[in-house]
């Protein structure tokens, strides 16, 4: 589903996605319409603009996930402002792409989002991680102290997953086998009682890793 209040942009993106082999089940021009149509169509991926006539992309993200909790939200916005990025991620978005991205970058991002990966325009992942690292630098809480203990290697892999790297890219970067990286990811998912890479990314962000 494509959510954007500019008809020419919205329809153009939908046409490009259709032409590339994706199935666009709906489009919407605002928060209320996005909620209604997501609830009706249950899209796998929602491309979400941040500036809408009846609210913002963070509001729309929360509304869409309330009606279609298994949807993955990929923000596609002209804005790369810090507050917009952080608000979207806090509302449940899986990733954030700016509209200067090429068509192929968009298609790749949609595929990655559908596969459960977190996708960010270069530089934005660092912004998000840096903000949560700053927040987490305050006094430790009992909840943080009680979090599961990860090995140094698991923590290293988790940080790279949170930056949007694939298992193959992580394997190359750390000089490990693809299977070893996947084993670390699965072990971390089990320890943290998380379901997928998107939840791993959110965990890393929240913990300032």
Query: pLDDT tens, 26-78?
Result: 999 999 999 999 999 999 999 999 999 998 999 999 999 999 999 999 999 88
Q: Which CATH number fits domain 2-119: 3.40.50.12780, 3.40.50.2300, 3.30.43.10, 3.40.50.970?
A: 3.40.50.2300
pLDDT for the residue numbered 141: 45
pLDDT for the residue numbered 119: 85
Find the helix or strand (DSSP H, E) in which 48 lies. strand 45-48
Lowest mean pLDDT among 62-76, 99-113, 118-132, 189-203: 118-132
Mean pLDDT across 69-89: 87
181 confidence band (pLDDT: 50, 70, 90): confident
pLDDT in tens, 144-163: 444 567 788 888 888 888 87
Length of the chain: 209
**188 closest CA partner among 165, 163, 154, 161:** 154
pLDDT for the residue numbered 147: 54
The answer to whether residue 133 scores a pLDDT higher than 60 is no
Other beta carbons less than 10 A from residue 100's beta carbon: 9
CA-based torsion, 50, 52, 58, 62: positive or negative: negative
Tell me the β-bridge partners of 202. none
pLDDT in tens, 160-177: 888 778 888 888 988 888
Q: State how far the alpha carbon of 205 is from the alpha carbons of 61, 85, 198, in Å.
A: 18, 13, 11
pLDDT for the residue numbered 64: 93
Fold type of domain 130-206: Arc Repressor Mutant, subunit A (1.10.10)
Instruction: Please list the residue range(s) of the chain that carry CATH number 3.40.50.2300.
Output: 2-119
Report the DSSP pairing between strands 51-52 and 55-56: antiparallel
**46 closest CA partner among 97, 91, 113, 1:** 1
pLDDT, mean over the chain: 84
Lowest mean pLDDT among 45-49, 103-107, 129-133, 166-170: 129-133
Give the position of tokens 């790749």. Answer: 108
pLDDT for the residue numbered 145: 44
pLDDT for the residue numbered 110: 95
Whole-angstrom distance, CA of residue 63 vs CA of residue 69 = 10
pLDDT for the residue numbered 42: 96
Instruction: Please list the residue range(s) of the chain that carry CATH number 1.10.10.10.
Output: 130-206
Runs of H (alpha helix) within 29-123:
31-41, 57-67, 82-91, 103-114
DSSP code, position 12: H
């Amino acid at each position: 589903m494509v959510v954007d209040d500019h008809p020419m942009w919205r329809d153009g993106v939908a046409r490009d996605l259709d032409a590339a082999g994706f199935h666009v089940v709906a489009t919407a021009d605002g928060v209320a319409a996005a909620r209604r149509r997501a609830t009706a169509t249950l899209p796998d991926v929602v491309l979400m603009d941040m500036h809408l006539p009846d609210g913002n992309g963070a509001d729309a993200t929360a509304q869409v996930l309330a009606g279609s909790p298994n949807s993955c939200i990929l923000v596609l916005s002209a804005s790369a402002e810090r507050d917009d990025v952080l608000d979207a991620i806090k509302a449940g978005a899986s990733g954030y792409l700016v509209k200067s991205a090429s068509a192929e970058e968009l298609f790749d991002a949609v595929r990655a989002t559908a596969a459960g990966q977190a996708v960010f325009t270069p530089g934005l992942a660092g912004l998000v991680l840096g903000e949560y690292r700053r927040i987490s630098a305050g006094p430790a809480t009992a909840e943080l102290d009680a979090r599961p203990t990860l090995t140094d290697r698991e923590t290293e892999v988790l940080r790279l997953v949170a930056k949007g790297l694939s298992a193959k890219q992580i394997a190359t970067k750390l000089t490990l086998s693809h299977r070893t990286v996947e084993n670390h990811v699965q072990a971390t998912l089990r320890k943290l009682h998380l379901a997928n890479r998107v939840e791993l990314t959110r965990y890393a962000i929240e913990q300032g890793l």
